[in-house]
């Protein structure tokens, strides 16, 4: 079978539906020019630098970069205006029917949305997951009807007219904020403001990294842009500042963000809280900044800004587009009342009259349909041409093609797990953070999409990949990501990397307690099914003298409460290797590894296979599945449980020791397996963990005991803290005796 077909089939097999974007005025480099199509090099899309402040243009004409149907290179202004008003009213009508939503942003941003999806971006509507597509992120996700209207017009099967009519309804493919797992064509899930632009930084980083690794002279197999629309709210959120600082530092030249500068947020005019000079801030962050003064009707201004942005290749670009929120609404435009609620029947009719739109709800005229319909054949041609180029690339660069294909499809190399280190009870005691570094470096050798870094703690988290250098502006092929002290953006950027291609396995690291600074990005990873590995060291009171500010007491419980997260707390080297195996395989579930600072022994009975089941027996001297008592532990406390069992056995007790490295994995096992580990008729159960006892009741039962810490920690040597808080062998023995 031809390589291009097998690659496309592999991608399709690993995605539940198809996903995103088309051709048009986006400049096509020589390596991706379509030999079978004519490339229209109209003056409105020639690449040359224009002024930073783009003045209004008198003529309004659009061009198409790919013209497989031999159409005219330009479209009359009346059709463009009709297309833009179609976008506006699809949003208005959907919000009105749902009586819920945010019509103001789509009404104001329709012109820039039209230019992007109809003229600039390269995508294939019938295969939204085509690898070399341009990516689009609506960071101001409350305005999602803008994106749904654009996907509908562009021909995506995921957003039909019926889907528009079901906006914000149960099991709809048009939910209230863009969700990648619900709507093919949506790249990332944006809800909390600022997350989307941080995700876009991750997407752009991924493109730059892959291009540096795999492109060859005359064979630029990786070449696409990342576009984002951000609002005033995104600009105010701290995560966007963190992420955009990194984007400027890294010189992500193919990241182009449109700032919807409408000066309105939910509480009113942004002057009440937001008066900074955004342009100067982004210039200070290392971005190229352009101002489009007329975002309402200045189509040529928008085109010229994109043209200029593409000419700047060494830094990301912010295009500030001044718009009127709710444009066209005679009574609510430029007010907070159009931000987050339906216009109302009377205002909808007034807006129809004002914009000359005498059509029924959800109307799309035949000429607009015909105009947008070209994206289907053009997108298919773009993908076919790229597949042919990849087939040629594979013939010339077999090894590189195999690595890239693994990243594109998510198919991991055969036998990759054999690279993980193995340990025995004779192996020296070590902190699991150090054992983690051994696993990270082993995986980096065999997993092409494995990369990551730390929030300025690599030497303490032990996360440096020793065989690679640092990903920097001029060395983007390297795999160590230096995030600086930016935990929140770090998580969101890694989410974007994970969403770029199925075979990317990004990891990021900090101290476990600092997940408080990145909880939103971890939650978004879980919600959007981004398989990021969160490497969290200094996992308990064992870090000692740093004190309660750095001792994560409640964090294990909090992440166990979060859906679609694997919370893993390994006890030794074998369990650490097992945790990495599980995390690497779970591409739609993020994993958090809580790792110790203090040295731990290599325990008898631990196993990779046991970790895969979440909870398992590491030692047992009982018969017929009837121990006198069951002792349970995680991480550094599993050793304490094992020592307590030895003491109890000396007194003739039948004791079972269970490692609960992951509650989530254990809960997913069949009832028969769970009964074999925790027989229901054995009620004498004791758990021990250096953290909150919250949640342990479901395992120890009402007649068992949970030993833990239900207050903040303290500053003292680790051994002293463990003793003072009763996290000891003696406490476990006493509890077990009281139960049996």
Q: For 493-540, how does the pLDDT look when each residue is reduced to its tens digit (9 = 90+)?
A: 999 999 999 999 999 999 999 999 999 999 999 999 999 999 999 999
Rounded mean pLDDT of 325-346?
95
CATH code of the domain covering residue 161: 3.40.50.970
User: Does one domain contain both 630 and 531?
Assistant: no
Is residue 395 assigned to a domain? no
Better-scored residue on pLDDT, 43 or 236 = 236
Assess if residue 657 is contained within a domain. Answer: yes
The CATH number of the domain where 679 resides is what? 3.40.50.920
- For residue 93, is it within any domain? yes
Helix (H, G, I), strand (E, B) or coil at 480: strand
pLDDT at 563 (0 to 100): 98
Shortest CA distance to 188 belongs to which of 591, 498, 449?
498
In a domain, 36, yes or no: no
Q: Is the pLDDT of residue 404 over 50?
A: yes
Mean pLDDT in residue range 571-583: 98
Question: Is 649 labelled as part of a ligand binding site?
Answer: no
> Considering the domain boundaries, does residue 55 fall inside one?
no
pLDDT at position 36 is 27
pLDDT reading at 37 higher than 80: no
Same domain, residue pair 194 and 241: yes
Poorest-confidence range of 64-78, 428-442, 615-629, 633-647? 64-78
Query: Any known ligand binding at 288?
Result: no
Mean pLDDT of 108-133: 98
Residues 578 and 638 reside in one and the same domain:
no
Residue with tokens 């408080």: 516
Residue 468 in any domain: the answer is yes
Strand order from edge to edge, sheet including 317-322:
53-54, 288-292, 317-322, 255-261, 226-230, 135-138
Closest CA relative to residue 594, chosen from 649, 669, 520, 533: 533
Active site residues: 487
pLDDT at site 740: 75
The C-alpha atoms of residue 540 and residue 47 are separated, in whole angstroms, by 55
Q: Give a yes or no: residue 601 inside a domain.
A: no
pLDDT for position 77: 66
Q: Are 264 and 104 in contact (CB under 8 A)?
A: yes
Query: Which of 196, 136, 148 has its CA nearest to residue 175?
Result: 148
User: Which range of residues forms the domain containing residue 563?
Assistant: 416-595
Percent of the chain having pLDDT more than 70?
90
The contacts of residue 642 (CB under 8 Å, 6+ apart) are 603, 604, 618, 619, 633, 657
Q: Which residue has the higher pLDDT, 47 or 565?
A: 565
What is the pLDDT averaged over residues 269-281?
Answer: 96
Residue range 648-675, pLDDT digits in tens: 999 999 999 999 999 999 999 999 999 9
What pLDDT score does 557 carry? 98
Do 253 and 346 have their domain in common? yes
Average pLDDT score over residue span 595-610: 97
Residue 480: phi and psi, rounded to 5, are: -90, 115
460 is in an annotated binding site: yes
Alpha-carbon radius of gyration of the chain: 28
User: Is residue 643 domain-shared with residue 583, that is, in the same domain?
Assistant: no
Is 102 part of any known ligand binding site? yes
Last residue of one domain, picked from the residues 564, 595, 626: 595
Residues 377-403 pLDDT 10s: 999 999 999 999 999 999 999 999 999
In a domain, 372, yes or no: no
In terms of residues, how long is the chain?
740
Same-domain pairing of 581 and 653: no
In this prediction, residue 38 has a pLDDT band, given cuts at 50, 70 and 90, of very low
Same domain, 430 and 514: yes
CB 19 within 8 A of CB 132: no
The verdict on whether residue 232 carries a ligand-binding annotation is yes
* CB distance 536 to 673 below 8 Å: no
The annotation status of 546 as a binding-site residue, yes or no, is yes
Last residue of a domain, one of 316, 347, 362: 362
Q: Residue 16: its pLDDT value, please?
A: 39
pTM tops 0.85, yes or no: yes
Same domain membership, residue 537 and residue 621: no
Same domain, 144 and 290: yes
Q: What is the pLDDT of residues 688-726, one digit of tens each?
A: 999 999 999 999 999 999 999 999 999 999 999 999 999
Q: What is the pLDDT of residue 11?
A: 42
Helix or strand holding residue 228 (H, E): strand 226-230
CA–CA dist 588, 672 (Å, integer): 26
Among candidate residues 563, 595, 627, the one where a domain is terminated: 595
β-strands 53-54, 255-261 pairing: unpaired
Place of tokens 């680790």: 718
Annotated binding residue at 414?
A: no
Number of domains in the chain: 3
Report whether 469 belongs to an annotated binding site: no
Mean pLDDT lowest for which of 489-498, 542-551, 668-677?
Answer: 542-551
| Residue 612 DSSP symbol | H
Identify whether residues 458 and 577 lie together within a single domain: yes
Is residue 47 over pLDDT 80?
Answer: no
Bridging pattern class, strands 685-688 and 705-707: parallel
Give the tens place of pLDDT for each residue, 149-199. Answer: 999 999 999 999 999 999 999 999 999 999 999 999 999 999 999 999 999
Residues whose CB is less than 8 angstroms from the CB of residue 71 and which lie 6 or more positions away in sequence, other chains included:
64, 374
Shared domain for 582 and 487, answered yes or no, is yes
* 595 marked among binding-site residues: no
DSSP code string of 367-381: HHHHHHHTHHHHHHH
Same domain flag for 582 and 636: no
């Amino acid at each position: 079978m031809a390589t291009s077909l097998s690659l496309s089939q592999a991608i399709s097999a690993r995605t539940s539906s198809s996903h995103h974007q088309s051709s048009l005025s986006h400049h096509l480099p020589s390596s991706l020019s379509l030999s079978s199509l004519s490339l229209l090099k109209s003056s409105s899309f020639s690449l040359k630098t224009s002024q930073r402040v783009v003045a209004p243009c008198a003529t309004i004409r659009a061009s198409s970069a790919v013209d497989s149907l031999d159409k005219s290179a330009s479209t009359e202004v009346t059709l463009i205006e009709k297309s833009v008003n179609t976008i506006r009213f699809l949003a208005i009508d959907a919000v009105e029917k749902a009586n819920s939503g945010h019509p103001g942003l789509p009404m104001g941003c329709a012109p820039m949305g039209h230019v992007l999806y109809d003229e600039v971006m390269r995508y294939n509507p019938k295969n939204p997951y085509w690898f070399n597509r341009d990516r689009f992120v609506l960071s101001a996700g409350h305005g999602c009807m803008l994106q749904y209207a654009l996907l509908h017009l562009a021909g995506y099967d995921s957003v039909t007219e019926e889907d528009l009519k079901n906006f914000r309804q149960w099991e709809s493919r048009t939910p209230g904020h863009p969700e990648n797992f619900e709507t093919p064509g949506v790249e990332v899930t944006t809800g909390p403001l600022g997350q989307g632009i941080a995700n876009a930084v991750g997407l752009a980083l991924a493109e730059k990294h892959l291009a540096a690794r795999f492109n060859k002279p005359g064979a630029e197999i990786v070449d696409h842009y990342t576009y984002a629309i951000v609002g005033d709210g995104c600009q105010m959120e701290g995560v966007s500042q963190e992420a955009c600082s990194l984007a400027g530092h890294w010189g992500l030249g193919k990241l182009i963000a449109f700032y919807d500068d409408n000066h309105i947020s939910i509480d009113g005019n942004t002057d009440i809280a937001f008066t900074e000079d955004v342009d100067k801030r982004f210039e200070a962050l290392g971005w190229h900044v352009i101002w489009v003064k007329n975002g309402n009707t200045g189509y040529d201004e928008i085109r010229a800004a994109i043209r200029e942005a593409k000419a700047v290749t060494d830094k990301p670009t912010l295009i500030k587009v001044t718009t009127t929120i709710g444009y066209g609404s005679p009574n609510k435009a430029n007010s907070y009342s159009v931000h987050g609620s339906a216009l109302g029947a009377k205002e909808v009719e007034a807006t129809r009259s004002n914009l000359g739109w005498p059509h029924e709800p959800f109307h799309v005229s035949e000429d607009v349909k015909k105009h947008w319909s070209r994206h289907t054949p053009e997108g298919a041609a773009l993908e076919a041409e790229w597949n042919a180029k990849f087939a040629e690339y594979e013939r010339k660069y077999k090894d590189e093609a195999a690595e890239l294909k693994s990243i594109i499809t998510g198919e991991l190399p055969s036998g990759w797990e054999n690279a993980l280190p193995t340990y025995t009870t004779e192996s020296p005691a070590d902190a699991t953070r150090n054992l983690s570094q051994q696993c990270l470096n082993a995986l980096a050798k065999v997993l092409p999409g494995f990369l990551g870094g730390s929030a300025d703690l690599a030497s303490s988290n032990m996360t440096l990949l020793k065989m690679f250098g640092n990903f920097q502006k001029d060395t983007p092929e390297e795999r160590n990501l230096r995030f600086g002290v930016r935990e929140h953006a770090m998580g969101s950027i890694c989410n974007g990397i994970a969403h770029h291609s199925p075979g990317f396995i990004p990891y990021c690291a900090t101290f476990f307690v600092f997940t408080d600074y990145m909880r939103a990005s971890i939650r978004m990873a879980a919600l959007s099914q981004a398989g990021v590995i969160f490497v969290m060291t200094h996992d308990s009171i064992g870090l000692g003298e740093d004190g309660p500010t750095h001792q994560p007491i409640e964090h294990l419980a909090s992440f166990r409460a979060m859906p679609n997260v694997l919370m893993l707390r390994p006890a030794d080297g074998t369990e650490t290797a097992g945790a990495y195996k599980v995390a690497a395989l779970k591409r739609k579930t993020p994993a958090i590894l809580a790792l110790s600072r203090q040295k731990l022994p290599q325990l008898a009975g631990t196993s990779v296979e046991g970790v895969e089941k979440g909870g398992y027996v590491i030692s047992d001297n009982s018969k017929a599945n009837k121990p006198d008592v069951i002792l349970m532990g995680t991480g550094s406390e599993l050793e304490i449980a094992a020592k307590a069992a030895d003491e109890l056995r000396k007194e003739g007790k039948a004791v079972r020791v269970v490692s609960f490295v992951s509650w989530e994995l254990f809960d997913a096992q069949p009832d028969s397996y769970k009964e074999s580990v925790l027989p229901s008729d054995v009620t004498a159960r004791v758990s021990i963990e250096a953290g909150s006892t919250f949640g342990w009741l479901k395992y120890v039962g009402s007649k068992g005991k949970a030993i833990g810490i239900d207050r903040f920690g303290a500053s003292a040597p680790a051994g002293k803290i463990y003793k003072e808080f009763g996290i000891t062998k003696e406490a476990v023995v006493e509890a077990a005796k009281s139960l049996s």
